[in-house]
Amino acid sequence: MEFHKLSAREIAAGVKEKKFTAEEVTRAAIERIKKYDKKYNSLVAVCEERAVADAKKIDEMIARGEDPGVLAGVPFAVKDNFCTDGIETTCCSKMLKGWVPHYDATAVKNMKEAGAVLVGKANMDEFAMGSTTESSIFGPTLNPRDITRVPGGSSGGSAAAVAAGFVPVALGSDTGGSVRQPAAFCGVQGMKPSYGQISRFGIVAYASSLDQVGPLTRNIGDMALLMDVLAKEDANDTTCDAYERPSFTEAVGSASLAGKKVAILTGFDRESVDRPLVEAIDRAAAICREAGAEIIEAKLPITMEHTVACYYMVALGDASSKLACYDGMRYGHHADGKNLSEMYKKSRMEGFGEEVRRRILVGTCILTRGYYENYFVPATKVRQLISDEFKELFKEADLLICPISPALAYKRGLGEKDPVRMYLGDVFTTIANLAGLPSVSLSLGFTPEGLPTNVQLLAPRFGDAELLSYASIIEKTAGAPAAAEIMEGEC
Sign, CA torsion 231/387/272/366: negative
Determine the Cα angle at 392 with ends 388 and 398, to 5°: 120
List 131, 155, 178, 441, catalytic entry: 178
Q: Residue 189 and residue 404: Cα distance in Å, rounded?
A: 12
Please state whether beta strands 213-217 and 169-173 pair in parallel, antiparallel, or not at all (unpaired): antiparallel
Active site residue 154: yes
Residue 308 · residue 384 · CB < 8 Å: no
Active site residue 321: no
Looking at residue 199, its amino acid is S
Cβ atoms within 10 Å, residue 170: 34
Length of the chain: 491
Task: List alpha helices for 196-300, DSSP H.
Answer: 220-230, 248-253, 275-290
217-247 CB burial, b ≥16 within 10 A, e <16: bbbbbbbbbbbbbbbeebeebeebbeeebbe
Residue 120 · residue 45 · CB < 8 Å: yes
Q: Residue 7 and residue 323: Cα distance in Å, rounded?
A: 38
Q: Residue 369 and residue 388: Cα distance in Å, rounded?
A: 28
Nearest residue to 288 via CA among 467, 473, 479, 481: 473
List 16, 42, 79, 93, catalytic entry: 79
Q: Residue 95 and residue 136: Cα distance in Å, rounded?
A: 12
Residue 60: left (phi > 0), alpha (psi -120 to 50), or beta?
Answer: alpha
Residue 237 · residue 201 · CB < 8 Å: yes
Nearest residue to 186 via CA among 155, 221, 213: 155
List 154, 199, 405, 469, catalytic entry: 154
Active site residue 79: yes
Determine the Cα angle at 455 with ends 453 and 461, to 5°: 155
Q: Residue 135 and residue 154: Cα distance in Å, rounded?
A: 9
- The catalytic site residues sit at 79, 154, 178
